[in-house]
Structure 1
Amino acid sequence: MSDTDLFRALGNERRLQNLRWSRDPVAQFLPQRIGDLVEDGVCGQFIADKLGVNAPTRSEHLPVLQASRLVTAKRIRQRTFHRHDDEKLASIASIVETI
């Protein structure tokens, strides 16, 4: 993925909000019955509920974040859990410094 694609992924308020929440999922989301908020990430449905969007809209945004490697996805049973990637987010600062 190019730097341009990375910044396009960040160029959407819902995706940015998702990244903000995922930095501290314990503070932003209720505990989950399946999956640990920190280790596994947040269930995609919980993210959609908090954003106030339906499943198709969620399915638009989360794959963009995954493709840009800003979040990782993990399947547990029939659910997908999303967790932000600290290293990739930190690399954004170094990209901006080169501009």
Structure 2
Amino acid sequence: MLNDEQAVEIFKALSNQIRVNILQILKDPDHNFSTQAHVIREKGFDGGVCVSDIRSRVGLSQSTTSQYLSILLQSGLVEMKRIGQWTYYRRNEVTIKQFEKYIGQKI
């Protein structure tokens, strides 16, 4: 279960519509993005999406997209993996489920 401090960090991350949109589009990467060739070769990171593809989808600069992804990573809502020169992100479903449970029990 999440503690109050972790939940506050998640609430902060979710206080921006674009970050919420990023989580929404990462929920179904097969539908929202093209095949991520490098992830297929790397076992254990299914559903990961390259930063440049996320940037294209949300229509922001590379630096702003990276900053938003960093905030989502720090809150635990996404996971990151570097594969070669590329950085991939996917939703952290464990944390999202824990946050759901936190809200149900504490709020």
Instruction: Report the TM-score when normalising by structure 2.
Output: 0.84
> Aligned partners of 2:47 and 2:33: how far apart in 1?
13
Q: Is 1:59–2:66 an aligned residue pair?
A: yes
> Aligned partners of 1:85 and 1:29: how far apart in 2?
18
Q: Structure 2 residue aligned with 1:88, among 76, 84, 95?
A: 95
Structure 1 equivalent of residue 30 of structure 2: 26
Q: Which amino acid aligns with 1:77?
A: G
Where does structure 1 differ by over 3 angstroms across 4 or more consecutive aligned residues? none
Aligned residues between the structures: 98
Structure 2 equivalent of residue 15 of structure 1: 19
TM-superposed CA distance for 1:40, in Å, is 5.3
Long gaps (5+) in structure 1: none
CA contact (8 A) 2:80 2:88 kept: yes
TM-superposed CA distance for 1:81, in Å, is 0.2
> Aligned partners of 2:58 and 2:27: how far apart in 1?
15
TM-superposed CA distance for 1:86, in Å, is 0.8
Structure with greater helix percent: 2
TM-superposed CA distance for 1:92, in Å, is 1.4
Instruction: Report the TM-score when normalising by structure 1.
Output: 0.91
